[in-house]
Amino acid sequence: MDEKQQPLADRRKALEDQFFRKEGERLREKLRARKDQEEAKAELRRVSGIDDDAILDHLAGLGVRADTLAALSLVPLVEVAWADGKLEAREKEALLEAARDAGIDPRHPAYELLANWMVHRPEPRMLDAWSAFVRGLGEALDEAERRELKAKLLGRARRVAEAAGGILGLGNKVSPEEEKMLGVLAKVFER
For the chain, the average pLDDT equals 82
Question: Which residue from 31, 99, 32, 35 is spatially nearest to 67, judged by alpha carbons?
Answer: 99
Looking from the CA of 162 toward its CB, the CA atoms found within 13 Å total 10
SS3 at position 3: coil
Q: 62 and 138 in contact (C-beta within 8 Å)?
A: no
* pLDDT-derived band at 184, boundaries 50, 70, 90: very high
Q: What is the pLDDT of residues 44-76, one digit of tens each?
A: 787 766 777 877 787 777 777 777 777 778 889
CA distance 88 to 91: 5
* pLDDT-derived band at 82, boundaries 50, 70, 90: very high
pLDDT at residue 43 in the model? 82
Q: 92 and 114 in contact (C-beta within 8 Å)?
A: no
pTM: predicted TM-score of the whole model, two decimal places? 0.67
Q: Where do the structural domains in the chain lie, given as residue ranges?
A: 1-191
Q: What is the pLDDT of residues 125-159, one digit of tens each?
A: 888 888 888 887 888 888 998 898 899 889 989 98
Greatest C-alpha distance within the chain = 99
CA distance 87 to 164: 9
Residue 42, pLDDT above cutoff 50: yes
- DSSP classification of residue 190: -
Residues facing residue 48 across a β-bridge: none
pLDDT at residue 118 in the model? 92
* pLDDT-derived band at 172, boundaries 50, 70, 90: low
- DSSP classification of residue 107: T
pLDDT at residue 168 in the model? 47
* pLDDT-derived band at 119, boundaries 50, 70, 90: very high
CA distance 185 to 144: 18
How much is the average pLDDT of 8-16? 77
* pLDDT-derived band at 177, boundaries 50, 70, 90: very high
C-alpha distances (whole Å) from 8 to each of 5, 12, 17, 20 are 5, 6, 14, 18
Q: Which of 34-48, 144-158, 163-177 has the highest mean pLDDT?
A: 144-158
